[in-house]
């Protein structure tokens, strides 16, 4: 009985210790690509873990908790990170004019126009085309050949959470279903454009929501693009500084992928 208790204790404590001490995982390849947008050098850093078609994508340069968590927890596929002179938005100059945009609002024409207008002094069709080319470049890299795209984001405490999608809340119209998990922080949640993964992640005890691919508002984000194009997409949202939580979310998603075979043996765009 005593031995059993000791074993149970070790089984409970060991993962906690390993989680605390987890060092960045070894990737077998690292590649840096440069994309010239006007006068701005945007760098895309790709870490290769294995050849499985799962792409982890951090597109906001100021959301570093997500990158740290991913570097410690990702085991399959490739991790992509965008780096540029700083901040959430990307800024560039084109023919003497200054522009800015949110890199997660450029994947549809409507969203792109809106974000350029919001963060630039002036809007021009020329700048729009340059950003459209950049968006197509990113999609080719991260989404075209992926069985699953996993966006990695961080939010600020209390401003945006799974509760933002509950009936009556700001983004209620974008969600088909919302699952609140008791004993968790609502800032840490999975945003799924895929019902199979939504159900599995909710069942694993996480806050989760299912995007309504028919009614979601067109803000030009990658989730909208993937929803429209039948690409499996999940966003792992965690509050800034919640690195260990985000690591556990990444590990649990990988466990779910192992159990459904997605990314390991299933073809692209498998329908639930």
- Taking the C-alpha atoms of residue 215 and residue 232, their distance in angstroms, rounded to an integer, is 17
Residue 61 or residue 128: which is nearer to Zn ion going by CB? 61
Exactly one of 44, 54, 60, 72 binds Zn ion (CB under 5 A); which one? 60
Are 43 and 66 in contact by the 8 Å Cβ rule? The answer is no
- Taking the C-alpha atoms of residue 98 and residue 123, their distance in angstroms, rounded to an integer, is 9
| Window of 15-23, 60-68, 111-119, 227-235 that interacts with Zn ion by CB under 5 A | 60-68
Residue 52 or residue 116: which is nearer to Zn ion going by CB? 116
Count CA atoms within 13 Å of residue 161 on its CB side: 17
Q: CA Rg, the chain, in Å?
A: 19
- Residue 33 has φ and ψ, to the nearest 5°, of -110, 145
DSSP state of 165: G
- Residue 73 has φ and ψ, to the nearest 5°, of -115, -25
Query: Binding residues for Zn ion, how many (CB under 5 A)?
Result: 3
Residue 114 or residue 153: which is nearer to Zn ion going by CB? 153
Cα–Cα distances in angstroms (integers) from residue 181 to residues 148, 185, 202, in the given order:
24, 9, 8
How far apart are CB 104 and Zn ion at their closest, in Å? 6
Residue 151 or residue 178: which is nearer to Zn ion going by CB? 151
Stretch 141-160 residues interacting with Zn ion (CB under 5 A) = 153
| Window of 59-67, 134-142, 190-198, 262-270 that interacts with Zn ion by CB under 5 A | 59-67
Stretch 101-140 residues interacting with Zn ion (CB under 5 A) = none
| DSSP-assigned beta bridge partners for residue 36 | 41
Residue 116 or residue 236: which is nearer to Zn ion going by CB? 236
How far apart are CB 17 and Zn ion at their closest, in Å? 31
Other residues' Cβ atoms within 10 Å of the Cβ of residue 30: 10
- Residue 143 has φ and ψ, to the nearest 5°, of -115, -35
How far apart are CB 154 and Zn ion at their closest, in Å? 6
- Give the DSSP letter string of 71-104: HHH--SSEEEEEE-SSSSSEEEEETTEEEEE-TT
| Window of 14-22, 62-70, 125-133, 173-181 that interacts with Zn ion by CB under 5 A | 62-70
How far apart are CB 103 and Zn ion at their closest, in Å? 9
Are 164 and 174 in contact by the 8 Å Cβ rule? The answer is no
How far apart are CB 13 and Zn ion at their closest, in Å? 34
Residue 15 or residue 86: which is nearer to Zn ion going by CB? 86
How far apart are CB 237 and Zn ion at their closest, in Å? 8
Residue 63 or residue 187: which is nearer to Zn ion going by CB? 63
Among residues 207, 177, 206, which one has the least CA distance to residue 193?
A: 177
How far apart are CB 176 and Zn ion at their closest, in Å? 22
- The site for Zn ion (CB under 5 A) is made up of 60, 63, 153
């Amino acid at each position: 009985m005593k031995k059993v208790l000791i074993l149970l204790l070790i089984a409970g404590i060991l993962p906690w210790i390993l989680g605390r001490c987890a060092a960045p995982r070894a990737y077998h390849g690292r590649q840096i690509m440069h994309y010239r947008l006007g006068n701005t050098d945007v760098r895309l850093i790709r870490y290769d873990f294995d050849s499985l078609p799962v792409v982890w994508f951090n597109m906001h340069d100021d959301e570093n908790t997500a990158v740290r968590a991913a570097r410690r927890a990702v085991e399959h596929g490739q991790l992509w990170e965008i780096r540029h002179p700083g901040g959430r938005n990307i800024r560039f100059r084109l023919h003497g004019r200054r522009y800015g945009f949110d890199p997660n609002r450029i994947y549809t024409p409507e969203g792109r126009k809106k974000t350029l207008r919001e963060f630039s002094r002036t809007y021009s069709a020329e700048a729009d085309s340059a950003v459209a080319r950049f968006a197509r470049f990113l999609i080719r890299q991260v989404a075209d050949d992926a069985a699953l795209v996993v966006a990695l984001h961080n939010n600020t405490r209390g401003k945006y959470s799974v509760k933002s999608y509950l009936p009556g809340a700001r983004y209620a119209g974008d969600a088909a279903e919302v699952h609140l998990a008791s004993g968790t922080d609502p800032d840490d949640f999975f945003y799924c454009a895929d019902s199979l993964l939504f159900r599995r992640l909710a069942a694993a005890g996480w806050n989760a929501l299912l995007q309504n691919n028919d009614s979601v508002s067109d803000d030009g984000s990658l989730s909208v693009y993937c929803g429209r194009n039948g690409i499996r997409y999940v966003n792992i949202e965690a509050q800034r500084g919640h690195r260990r939580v985000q690591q556990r979310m990444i590990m649990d998603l990988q466990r779910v992928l192992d159990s459904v075979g997605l990314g390991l043996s299933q073809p692209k765009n498998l329908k639930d």
